[in-house]
Amino acid sequence: MTSVSRSGLLGGLWADFIRTTPQAERIRSLLADRGEVVHHDHIGLRTFAAPELGLGLDALACRFEAEGWRPRERYRLDAAHLRARYWQHDDPDAPKIFISELDVARLSPSARAIIHRLLAELPAGFAARPDLAWAGRPWTPSRADYEALLAENEHAARLATLGFRVDHVTLDVAALITFPDLDALTAFLTEHAFRVELKRRPPRVRPDSIPIALADAAIRLPSGSYELADRRSRRPPARYFPVSVAK
């Protein structure tokens, strides 16, 4: 596996994110015009737990650990069959990396069959790619595959449809120097025609709808999420990790 530098990792993640979430780059540009240097609290990634194929938390994390991110707490979201962990760098300006993996073995037999069929399409050596976190979709699901997975597990449906890419990026609101609080930032974004969903935790800019090509159909899905959080809270993002901590 060829190494990817820390700057290469973060640059690759951001470039992938704005391909499906271009509003995030528009927001970054607007903030830069005010003199802000944008810092991100964390970057969220998704994967299947398929250790027999070299996929899972550890497979994604090893790229970041090689560049100084250190593993922290583990989390479990039993209702969604997710396990998760975050990694933190000694550099306080570096975003945390949150990775969630779907425990495929806990899905129904029909959902497992779909995922195993898709995983069978993985090219040789795919899991060893240095850009695995944003390597895209290496399989081709049908609309029926997507709908069957969506009926059971949102994580499975989006991962099967979008592949390996950035799920969400969270802006560190506390690091901004020209906004006193989230309310001021929200007002600014609203003035520039963005809609902020304040009832979510953490709040996020409403995702765009993006086209996705499947084997037999074209559908539209919400883009990745650009979230807004105050780094000073120091708590894991409730959107992904609202339940028990696993030691």
Residue 241, burial from CB neighbour count under 10 angstroms (0-12, 13-18, 19+): buried
The pTM assigned to this predicted structure is 0.90
Note the pLDDT tens digit of each residue in 128-176: 999 999 999 999 999 999 999 999 999 999 999 999 999 999 999 999 9
Note the pLDDT tens digit of each residue in 19-69: 999 999 999 999 999 999 999 999 999 999 999 999 999 999 999 999 999
Domains and CATH numbers, the chain: 6-39+104-230 (3.10.180.50)
In whole angstroms, what is the distance from residue 62 CA to residue 161 CA? 24
Instruction: Give the pLDDT confidence score for residue 247 in this predicted structure.
Output: 36
Rounded to whole angstroms, the maximal C-alpha distance in the chain is 53
Q: Contact at 8 Å (CB) between 24 and 226? A: yes
Residue 150, burial from CB neighbour count under 10 angstroms (0-12, 13-18, 19+): middle
Q: At CA 60, angle to CA 140 and CA 211, rounded to 5?
A: 35
In whole angstroms, what is the distance from residue 197 CA to residue 162 CA? 23
Tell me: pLDDT of 194 over 90. Answer: yes
In whole angstroms, what is the distance from residue 59 CA to residue 179 CA? 38
Q: Contact at 8 Å (CB) between 108 and 121? A: no
Note the pLDDT tens digit of each residue in 215-227: 999 999 999 999 9
Q: In Å, what is the CA distance from 153 to each residue of 27, 37, 79, 83, 161? A: 31, 37, 10, 14, 12
Phi-psi label, residue 226: left if phi above 0, alpha if psi -120 to 50, beta otherwise: beta
